[in-house]
Structure 1
C-alpha cells in the first residue's frame, strides 16, 4: 500500500459538501427529499434572495443570488426555508469530527469544506479508498453528500473537487494540468474573481494556459505579487501546507432570550440567566469544548444594549460555573432598569481534552502543591518586567488569539 503513495510528494484531499445548507435541511426533514428546495434569507419578502438550493431546484434554473420572486416564477412548487444556522453549525461540527477519524492534519476553510493531508495514512488504504470511505461515512452517518478532490497540493485538490458534483471523487495530477486546466477560461480558476479576470484579459490573458505561460512582470503589474502565486498554481505548483491550527476554531457558543415583557424583577432575571447558563453548558459539552471567557449581553427596555465579558483563569464548562461567572458580570453591570433581552456567550473556546483543568472542590490540594512553582513564576516575571514564563495553555491561547486577529485583519 505504501507504494501507492508518492515517495517525496504529498497526498491532499479537498472535501466539499454538496449543497450543504439544503442537504442539511433534507437530512433533518426526510419529507424534503427529492423536492426543489431553496434556502433564502428573506423568504417572505419580495427582496429576498436565494442563498443556496438543491440540485432538483437547480435543474429548474434556480441559482444562488436569484431573487425569491424570480425563483418562484420559474418553479411554483419550490419549497423555501429560512436559514437555520444553528442546525448547519451542528452538522459542520459533526462533519469535521468524522474527518478527524482519518487524519489529524485537517484545515477547515469554511463551514462545509476542508483540506486533509493523508500522506502518512497509507495504513488505511489507498488515497482513492480513503476518499471513498470518507464519502460513504458522511452519507451513512449524516446523510450528507460530498465531492472529494485528490491531488498533490491544495490548489489541485480544490480544483478536482469541483470537477464532479454531486458525489464525485476526482484525481488530478500535476501532469494533467496542461490538458485539463489550461484550455479553461481564466475566470474558471480557483482564486480568480470577476474583477481579476477582467484585468488579466486587458493584457490578453484569457485562459488558464495564458496565465501559466504569460510574462511574470506583466502579470505582477496588473494584479500585484499575488498574480505570481496564481501563475505558479496555473502550472500546478502550490507549496502551501494543510494548517491544522484552524481545526476546531469555534469563535463563540452562546444563547439569548427575548423576554415577553420588560422585566425589572431581579429574581426573575437571574432565573433566566441560570437557564441560559444551562443551555450554553449543554452545547459546550456536546462539542467537548470549554471556555476561558464568559460574556453577558443586556438589552434594556429602551433598546440600549451593553455587552461585557471577563477572562477566566481556568477553563469552565459546567452550568453552575458559567452561572457564577455570569452573576459576577450581572452584579457589576446591571443598572436596575427593565430588561428586554438577556444573553450569555462562551468565548475563548478550546477542546476539553486540551484544557488545563476546572477548579473545583477536588482540585484545591493539587493547586496548593503547585503554589511554590507559581511563586517562582511570579518572581521571574516581576524581575524581568515581562511574561518570560507562562502556563503552556495561556501561551497557546495567546497565539490563537493573535492568529485569529491576523486572519480577521486580512479580510477587513
Structure 2
C-alpha cells in the first residue's frame, strides 16, 4: 500500500508555525523575482542543502520585510504573484499564480507575506527525516510532497490507523497540517490526496478503485498536461473511466501512453524514486526591460557565479552550457556550447559571457529575462577531458574548491569579481 503526503498550503502553514496571529485569517505568501542577487550590497545568501525536486534553491529570507518594502516597487506599483494561499483566502477567489494586485482586489483584508525560504526548507528537511524514521521507503517528490511505500510493513487493514498516527505525529512535532492519500499504487495515492484535502486522510481499497476513479475528469490525474488532455479528448476520452477500455490505443503510443495507462489503472506503478538524479541545473531571473548591455553582461556573470556555486555543491561536471535571452517583444534567443574539460567558475563565466555576446540578436531591444542551464553531466574518472587543458583545469578546480569552502561558510557573495560590481553613473 502507498501513501501520498501533501502539506496543506505549505508556505502559509510554515509561517503559522512561528506566528499564531496568522491562524484562521485570509493569508497568502507572494513572491517576486529575486533581483537582490544583482545588488552590490553585502547580504548573506546560501543554497539549500535539501535534495528532491527543489534542489539548489538560493535561500533568502524576505520575511522580515514589510509589505511596502517587498511588494511595492520604486514607482509605487504593487508587484509579485501569489505562491500559496490559505483556504480562508481561497474562499475569496485568491489562487496560486494570481498577481498580488488582483488578489488584494478580491480580498482587501488579505495578509500578504514575503517568502522565508530558509524556514520552508528547514521544515521540509525535518519532515523528510521524520518520515524516514516511520516508513521504510520514502520518496521526496517536491518541497511539500512525499510518497511512502508500506508494502510488507503495515497490513492493509492497519494502514488507515498508521496514517492517522503519522498525521498526529507530524502535527505535534512540526505543527504542520498534512493531507494523506492511501491507495494500492503510487500515482493513485497522489490522485486520492486531492480528495483528502484539507487536512484529512482518504483511503481507497483496491476493489473500490475502479468505481472511485471512473467519473474523475482526466485533467485531475497527476501528469496529464493540457496538450495531452486535448489529445485524449480528441478520442472521446474525458474521464479516467474512459481510459481503462482503451488499452490498445494507449499501448500504441509507446512509453508515454503505456506509462499513463498503467498509472491510471494502478498497474506496475509500485516503485519509488528514492534518489532523483537531475538531468540539468539552471538559474534565471526576470526583470523590467534593460537596454544597457554592460549591465546585462554584469547580470550574466553574477548568475554564472551562483550557478557555478550550485554545480559545485552537487559535485556534477557539466559538459554543455546553455543561455536563453528573452526580450520585451517576446522574442527569444537561445544557444549552447559543448565543452570538454573539468568544470571551473572562471571558464564557465567566460563561456556564458561569450554566448550572450554572440546571441544577443536584438541589441536595440530591452531584455526582460536571462536563463542559464548546464547539463550533459560526466564523471571526472571517465577521462573525457581535453588532455592539453587537464593540468591547468586541475589547478583551477583546486582554487575553486577553496573559494567554494569560503562561500559555504560565509555565503555566496563573500567573493566576487570586479566585473560583478555595479559601476555608479557619473
TM-score using structure 1 length:
0.57
> Cα RMSD (Å) of the superposition?
4.2
Listed one character per residue, the Cα deviations across residues 284-309 of structure 1 (whole Å, up to 9, x for unaligned) are: xxxxxx99799989xxxxxx9xxx99
Change over 3 Å in CA distance of 1:224–1:70 after alignment to 2: farther
Task: Give the Å deviation of 1:242.
Answer: 1.8
Alignment: residue pair count: 276
Q: Which residue is 2:90 aligned to?
A: 58
Task: Give the Å deviation of 1:224.
Answer: 5.0
2:229 to 197, 201, 214: 197
Kindly indicate whether the alpha-carbon contact (under 8 Å) linking 1:50 and 1:63 is maintained by their aligned counterparts in 2: yes
Find the residue that maps to 2:266 and give its secondary structure. Answer: coil
Taking the aligned partners of 1:244 and 1:334, their CA distance within structure 2 comes to 36
Taking the aligned partners of 1:158 and 1:98, their CA distance within structure 2 comes to 20
Residues 1:232 and 2:262 are matched in the alignment: yes
Change over 3 Å in CA distance of 1:30–1:200 after alignment to 2: same
Comparing both chains, which one has the higher relative contact order based on Cα–Cα distances under 8 Å and sequence gaps of 6 or more?
2
Find the residue that maps to 2:195 and give its secondary structure. Answer: coil
- Which deviates more, 151-160 or 16-25? 151-160
Structure showing greater radius of gyration is 1
Residues 1:18 and 2:8 are matched in the alignment: yes
Listed one character per residue, the Cα deviations across residues 10-53 of structure 1 (whole Å, up to 9, x for unaligned) are: x2111111111111011121111111111112343545221111
Q: Which residue is 1:70 aligned to?
A: 102
1:128 to 146, 160, 168: 160
Listed one character per residue, the Cα deviations across residues 170-226 of structure 1 (whole Å, up to 9, x for unaligned) are: 112222222110111111222212221111101111111111112523x456x6531
Find the residue that maps to 1:225 and give its secondary structure. Answer: helix
Taking the aligned partners of 1:291 and 1:210, their CA distance within structure 2 comes to 43
Kindly indicate whether the alpha-carbon contact (under 8 Å) linking 2:3 and 2:150 is maintained by their aligned counterparts in 1: yes
Q: Which residue is 1:110 aligned to?
A: 142
Residues 1:139 and 2:190 are matched in the alignment: no
Change over 3 Å in CA distance of 1:232–1:30 after alignment to 2: same
Find the residue that maps to 1:205 and give its secondary structure. Answer: coil
Q: Which residue is 1:182 aligned to?
A: 214
Kindly indicate whether the alpha-carbon contact (under 8 Å) linking 2:262 and 2:269 is maintained by their aligned counterparts in 1: no
2:20 to 6, 23, 30: 30
Taking the aligned partners of 1:325 and 1:66, their CA distance within structure 2 comes to 35
Task: Give the Å deviation of 1:235.
Answer: 2.1
Change over 3 Å in CA distance of 1:325–1:14 after alignment to 2: closer
Find the residue that maps to 1:177 and give its secondary structure. Answer: helix
Taking the aligned partners of 1:325 and 1:20, their CA distance within structure 2 comes to 27
Change over 3 Å in CA distance of 1:187–1:200 after alignment to 2: same
Change over 3 Å in CA distance of 1:296–1:33 after alignment to 2: farther
Listed one character per residue, the Cα deviations across residues 214-270 of structure 1 (whole Å, up to 9, x for unaligned) are: 2523x456x6531222122222324341233349xxx9xxxxxxxxxxxxxxxxxxx
Q: Mapping of 1:301-320 within 5 angstroms?
A: none
In structure 1, stretches of 5+ residues that fail to align are 1-10, 252-279, 281-289, 298-303, 342-412
Listed one character per residue, the Cα deviations across residues 51-75 of structure 1 (whole Å, up to 9, x for unaligned) are: 1111110111111122222211111
Kindly indicate whether the alpha-carbon contact (under 8 Å) linking 1:105 and 1:242 is maintained by their aligned counterparts in 2: yes
Q: Which residue is 1:90 aligned to?
A: 122
Change over 3 Å in CA distance of 1:246–1:28 after alignment to 2: farther
Find the residue that maps to 2:3 and give its secondary structure. Answer: strand
2:203 to 161, 164, 171: 171
Kindly indicate whether the alpha-carbon contact (under 8 Å) linking 1:154 and 1:238 is maintained by their aligned counterparts in 2: no
Q: Which residue is 1:156 aligned to?
A: 188
Change over 3 Å in CA distance of 1:291–1:31 after alignment to 2: same
Kindly indicate whether the alpha-carbon contact (under 8 Å) linking 1:12 and 1:150 is maintained by their aligned counterparts in 2: yes
Taking the aligned partners of 1:291 and 1:68, their CA distance within structure 2 comes to 34
Taking the aligned partners of 1:323 and 1:90, their CA distance within structure 2 comes to 22
Change over 3 Å in CA distance of 1:311–1:96 after alignment to 2: farther
